[in-house]
Amino acid sequence: MKNNRYQCCFCGNKIEFNITTLLLITNYKEEPNKQQEQQFFCHLNCFKKKIVGNTPLYLLDLEK
């Protein structure tokens, strides 16, 4: 099933299959009422290209 409502925050293209989400949490160690969250959507391959090579990523590559 195609899904054209999501756009990759890295490449800007539509995400049609296997949506990957990133959750950004700011003020993580602060009091809970100061934390803020925002969700971003991306292709898993785009995300893998942006992270540092030695960062552990224990996810299946769903885009294969």
pLDDT (tens digit per residue) in 47-58: 988 988 777 777
Q: Of 64, 23, 24, which is closest to residue 44 (Cα–Cα)?
A: 64
pLDDT at residue 18, rounded to an integer: 84
Instruction: Extract the tokens encoding 22.
Output: 């990133």
The model carries a pTM of: 0.71
pLDDT (tens digit per residue) in 5-38: 899 999 999 998 888 999 999 888 877 688 899 9
